[in-house]
Amino acid sequence: MITMPAIDMVATGRNIAKMRQNAGLTVKDLQIFFGFATPQAIYKWQHGTAMPNIDNLVALAMVFGVTMDEIIVVGTEVRAQISA
C-alpha cells in the first residue's frame, strides 16, 4: 500500500476565503476580476466543493501576493495499492 498526497479541498477553500479577506476583497471583487457572471464558482472554491482550475489558481496567487503552494493545502491519504 502506498500513500499519495491529495488536495484537502475544504482546507484549501478555507485558505482561499481567509486570503481573500486578508486582501480586503469581497466575493464580488473576485467575481468581477475573473469575469464570472455569478459568484457561484468562488463560493464553491471557498466551501471546498470545487477547486479553481490551474489558470485561476495562478491568478488567485497573483491577486493574493502568494504562491500557489500557499493556497493549496495538501494532505495524505491511502489512494492506491501497488503490487509487483
Tell me: pLDDT of 2 over 80: no
For the stretch 40-80, pLDDT in tens is: 999 999 999 999 999 999 999 999 999 999 999 998 665 55
Record the cell numbers describing residue 28, joined without a space.
Answer: 464580488
* pLDDT value, residue 34: 97
Question: What is the CA 75 to chain-centroid distance, rounded?
Answer: 14
Using alpha carbons, list the distances in angstroms from residue 76 to 1, 15, 29, 80, 81: 13, 18, 33, 12, 14
Q: 50-59, pLDDT tens digit by residue? A: 999 999 999 9
Tally of domains within the chain: 1
Range of the domain at 45: 2-80
Model-level pTM?
Answer: 0.85
CATH number of the domain to which 40 belongs: 1.10.260.40
